Structure 1
């Protein structure tokens, strides 16, 4: 069937085009079921108890945005304890490898060299407003990859201190994931010319061109791509939506057997292999022709290695600073202005050995200023249970002395109502308690 998943796996995540029960934006901010709202609130409380989340204070912001927390909940099918484990592992990994420092201080040329080996943002969005990336694997020949890895391991591209267990070549890759989550997604979120404009964009749509790639080349790339895929799935969950594989050779079923073992079932369910006859029709279901590269039947002037051909609508929404008219080479990220009404883009990284921090432009902020209704709802429910428990104690206190519970039993009932998690603590695996 045209456009069918390679291997359909039932999941409660964004795999559809918006019309099916679980398609985007279901499960995303502004489109949560009551159960999902409750899970988000419980997740915040759980993380807060573990010292991993701080609520927004007056005039400030929370330590982590709701849309970030939701990525972990969707990835772990809304099971709070499972989401906590992945979130904690990610926070520990980020701290051990100083991801913030890495992105702030990575050499611009090293960043661009890494960018040329991985998916490129085309500068365009799909019909839902999600950024579109193009990846042409044929450019990753063994000589190119070997030279890159040798250079990456012999020189440190940033001032970050690492844990020593994550190779330098992969840390550079994660600078690109930081760019996705801190540059491309916030930019696309700020654009209001889309359905569900109140919902922040936390995904990407990917066109993966595997044409002109031999079985030997796939084999040579196997360990390189497996390591990258494993870490990305672990630490940047739910950043992929549709993945369209184009130009698959006759032996691709063998390659697919390797690839699907690198990803969790949720990610596998998002990968679609298109025949030559399906490419144009299927891509146009998700992407306007003007935003599809010409090589795949569209109208967009864009080749792999090109700088992003930025959507004119995006450029019109931007207020440029100091003569800039385009986005910079190298790392950049958006930060909220002091009044929280705009996002300001800063180019960072090191150029010619010197750190840069230059304001490039600004755009109206898409993000809500108050994001705590889920926590409030959960707390309200907890308080109601406490009140009910206290009323129960009052009733017991006037009953006959033979039926009257002990002081210890009364305290236990109120404590269990006040902190529901405490009653379940002993049922948690040791790894969750730690």
Structure 2
């Protein structure tokens, strides 16, 4: 088959849609407007609370908007379905209580975080398909379906074996991406990391193996695309056999077109040069022409910048096996890594290290910079001119369903206070 070299991904209008475009801190005026409307719409539907703290951060909401091409109603539909799915399957309980060894068994079947990042600061994962032979997968699925390894139950339609997979997605969004976000040694340190870069090695895999894995991988990909949108960025497929055009015909239907456009099938001659365009040689595994000592199944080989940034606690010198996430401490100045999951039937809550907070959303920076008098002035009613501007923005917005824009305009107009004499308009941050 003809190989597809890596190239920049452009929208129809020629606008580069790759990171950081369309991400927090790098939004167009229309995208900013859609984000504001999305928050209002979700709040009306009881799916979002502005806080502080907000029930969902901006970078999460933006993932759904990007996935649905900035259509507020379409993004709402996917977000609503995801929230219902998460609640029905108790995803937070799953991640907090999953057995550590069961988690690790699952992790070894899916992409492994190398402990490194690409040139943009996005975490780098490696996936070697040859380790997923039919016997291994069948044995895993049988054990996973017969044993509940957490305190949660499925919704009846999501297989137990896939719930374990989603514990790994929770690790991506709640541990690895937040960690990479707080490392300021990247070009766009004002933008949170919500993606992952993946090297997918399909060498030494027969067509029969691909066929046997088809149902397993399709189910996982379909649910991941539905409930963890816009978490994949560049995907480099390496070692494609001669028959891969057949396999590619299946695979590309499992992803949305935007994700497919970021999947690059590399010939042996293209691997080293292409990977180096996106990844420093020090962070590319040696098997693919780089300098990193990392093999599939290894624990992450942590970036020296990560080691320098964290302060280890409780005897730790690295991140332990199993699930973990970050919680704010020291008045929000630092984040603490908490190792969770269960061992021997007992849930663990162990503080592993702390990390200084480097990323601060614009609204947080603005709030910290405002004097007390300015904060108090925000409590005054917003004058009519500001409301008129909001109505104008809603009216000019182009979204898939005009009904949404109409509802937003009616809401803004209904809530606008009566004009007051000699009152100056006061801007209220979103």
TM, length-normalised to structure 2? 0.84
Distance in structure 1 (CA, Å) of the matches to 2:324 and 2:409: 47
Query: Aligned to 2:46, what secondary structure does the other structure show?
Result: coil
2:266 aligned partner: 274
Deviation at 1:384, TM superposition (A): 1.5
Alpha-carbon RMSD:
2.7
Residues 200, 366 of structure 1: 8 Å contact kept:
no
Q: Give the conservation status (yes or no) of the 8 Å contact 1:170–1:228.
A: yes
Check 1:222–1:340 CA distance in 2 against 1; reply closer, same or farther (3 A cut): same
Q: Contact 2:314–2:352 (CA<8 Å) still a contact in 1? A: yes
Which position in structure 1 is the counterpart of 2:298? 306
Per-residue CA distance 1:232-262 (angstroms, 9 max, x = gap):
0000000000000000000000000011111
Gaps of 5+ in 2: 367-377, 393-405, 415-430
Correspondences of 1:103-252 after superposition (within 5 Å): 103-252=95-244
SS of match in other structure, 1:260: helix
Aligned 8 A contact 1:2 1:278 in 2: no
Number of equivalences: 385
Residues of 2 paired with 1:133 and 1:381: CA distance?
A: 50
Between the aligned partners of 1:272 and 1:379, the Cα distance in structure 2 is 52
1:3/1:282 contact within 8 Å kept: no
Alpha-carbon distance in 2 for matches of 1:289, 1:67: 29
Structure 1 runs, 4 residues or longer, greater than 6 Å off: 378-382
Rounded to whole Å, the distance in 2 between the matches of 1:415 and 1:139 is: 52
1:397 is aligned to none
Distance in 1 (CA, whole Å) between partners of 2:137 and 2:291 is 31
SS in 2 for 1:339: helix
Aligned CA distance change for structure 1 residues 416 and 64 (closer, same or farther; 3 Å) = closer
Q: Report the Cα distance in structure 2 between the residues aligned to 1:107 and 1:277, rounded to whole angstroms.
A: 43
Tell me the SS of whatever aligns to 2:171.
Answer: helix
Contact 2:22 2:66 in 1 (8 A): yes
Structure 1 position 344 matched with structure 2 position 348: no
Residue 286 of structure 1: how far off its partner (Å): 0.3
Which residue of the partner structure matches residue 387 of structure 2? 383
Tell me if structure 2 keeps the 8 A contact 1:107–1:158. Answer: yes
Look up the match of 2:39: 44
1:56 pairs with 2:51: yes
Report the CA distance shift for 1:379/1:120 in structure 2 as closer, same or farther (over 3 A): farther
Give the corresponding residue for 2:94. 102
Counterparts in 2 of 1:420 and 1:276: CA distance versus 1, 3 Å: same
Tell me whether 1:67 sits opposite 2:73 in the alignment. Answer: no
| 8 Å contact kept, 1:9–1:268 | no
Change (3 A) 1:263 1:9: farther
Specify the alignment match of 2:5 in structure 1: 4
Render the CA deviation track for 1:196-243: whole Å, top value 9, x for unaligned.
111100000000000000000000000000000000000000000000
Structure 2 CA distance for partners of 1:417 and 1:84, relative to 1, 3 Å: closer
Whether the 8 Å CA contact 1:210–1:245 is kept in 2: the answer is yes
- Per-residue deviation, 1:336: 1.3
Q: What TM-score does the superposition give when structure 1 sets the normalisation length?
A: 0.84
Residues 343/415 of structure 1: CA separation in 2 closer, same or farther (3 Å cut):
closer
Distance apart, 1:162 and its partner CA: 2.0
Contact 1:247 1:276 (8 Å CA) reproduced: yes
3-state SS of paired residue (1:344): strand
Q: Is 2:79 the counterpart of 1:78?
A: no
CA distance in 2 between partners of 1:421 and 1:158 (Å): 48
